Amino acid sequence: MKTISAAVTGVRENTPTVKTITLKPAEPIIFKPGQWIYVFADNGGKKVKRAYSIAAPPGEIRLCVKCVKGGFMSNRLCNTKKGDTLEIAGPFGAFTFTEPSGDVAFIATGTGIAPFMSMLPTLTENGYTGKATVIFGARTEDEILYKDEMKEFSKRMRFEFIPVLSREPSWKGEKGHVQNVIIKKLKPDCDVYVCGLMPMVADVRKLLEEKGFDRKRVHFENYI
Ligand SMILES: Cc1cc2nc3c(=O)[nH]c(=O)nc-3n(C[C@H](O)[C@H](O)[C@H](O)COP(=O)(O)OP(=O)(O)OC[C@H]3O[C@@H](n4cnc5c(N)ncnc54)[C@H](O)[C@@H]3O)c2cc1C
């Protein structure tokens, strides 16, 4: 696999456990919104690699990384600083985005929102006229990612951002899991993109099928 070096040009702390890392690769990476790259690192003499979705529109490379307790690569990335160099390869993946003719929903938990940070700017750039809904699951309010960006999207298209919190009793918005909101808010005549850890993705896919969503219009990416 051909690898290239990429300079870390910025690190932003989104929440206490999630960081957005901006990279400048030595040569351009031409990708489609929804695709991911490999990041490589040496772990005790063994070269290991992990996949990370590109969380930026084409032309830019940002990664949105959750610092997993005890995790090798995620902690490497969360400790990275501006001026460091990473070894990367890509792009890869078939979870790519086609602008829908009707409405579209994006469903994520945690850093599963990363590929949507590539897809959503594409919609605003293209003057999309349908409605885009993001249903985002997290435990607590401080885990809500990209609030400012979501406000910007709502200024530029018909857009609704629905955070759903499972462990925030005083939260005035939606509580519980993304599945509750899917049942309440989504109608089966829309395209759906789902991304996150495998149990959530499997559960949401089953729910969408039961609710009569067209399988061909449901797209998904599993993180593990
Ligand atoms: C296509 C694809 C895209 C991905 N995109 C992203 C992304 O944009 N952002 C991102 O943060 N991750 C993403 N991942 C997950 C990422 O590749 C790693 O698996 C993750 O960062 C953990 O790697 P690690 O080396 O730190 O942990 P490891 O050392 O591999 O694992 C340590 C332990 O943590 C557990 N674990 C791993 N991931 C998680 C998790 N998310 N939550 C809780 N426990 C976990 C493992 O089961 C293991 O027990 C993606 C995965 C795939 C397949």
Long-range CB contacts for residues 80-84, cutoff 8 Å, separation at least 24: 80/8, 80/11, 80/21, 81/8, 81/11, 82/8, 82/9, 82/10, 82/11, 83/7, 83/8, 84/7, 84/8
In 33-157, beta strands by DSSP E: 36-43, 46-53, 61-66, 85-92, 104-109, 131-138
Average pLDDT score over the chain = 97
Residues 99 and 95: their CA atoms lie apart, in Å, by 13
Q: What pLDDT does residue 99 have?
A: 87
Residue 117 CB less than 6 A away from ligand 1:
no
Local confidence band at 173 (pLDDT 50, 70, 90 cut-offs): very high
For residue 27, name the pLDDT band (cuts at 50, 70, 90).
very high
Q: Which of 22, 39, 62, 68 to mutate to test the pocket of ligand 1 (most atoms within 8 A of CB)?
A: 68
Q: What are the structural domain ranges in the chain?
A: 4-92, 104-222
Q: What is the pLDDT of residues 38-70, one digit of tens each?
A: 999 999 999 999 999 999 999 999 999 999 999
CA 79 to the chain's CA centroid: 20
Does 104-222 match 4-92 at the fold level?
A: no
Residue 115 has pLDDT above 90, yes or no: yes
Q: Residue 224: is its pLDDT beyond 90?
A: no
Average pLDDT of the segment spanning 160-189: 97
Over residues 113-141, mean pLDDT: 96
Judge: domain 4-92, CATH 3.10.450.50: no
**What average pLDDT does this structure show over 9-14?**
98
Question: Nearest-CA neighbor of 53 among 94, 84, 14, 83?
Answer: 94
Predicted local distance difference test score (pLDDT) of residue 28: 96
Written out in words, the top-level CATH class of the domain with range 104-222 is alpha beta
pLDDT at 221: 98
Q: Is 94 in the pocket of ligand 1 (CB under 6 A)?
A: no
User: Above 90 in pLDDT, residue 149?
Assistant: yes
pLDDT attached to residue 93? 98
So what's the pLDDT on residue 101? Answer: 87
pLDDT of residue 34: 98
Q: Please give the distance, rounded to the nearest whole angstrom, from the Cα atom of residue 223 to the centre of ligand 1.
A: 7
Mean pLDDT of 75-93: 98
**pLDDT at residue 25, as a whole number:** 98
Residue 164: what are its φ and ψ, rounded to 5°? -125, 120
Residue 103 and residue 189 in contact, taking contact as beta carbons nearer than 8 Å: yes
How sure is the predictor about 71, in pLDDT bands with cuts at 50, 70 and 90?
very high
78 lines ligand 1 (CB under 6 A): no
Q: What is the pTM of this model?
A: 0.97
**E strand or H helix that includes residue 8:** strand 4-15
Q: Where residue 186 falls among pLDDT bands split at 50, 70, 90?
A: very high
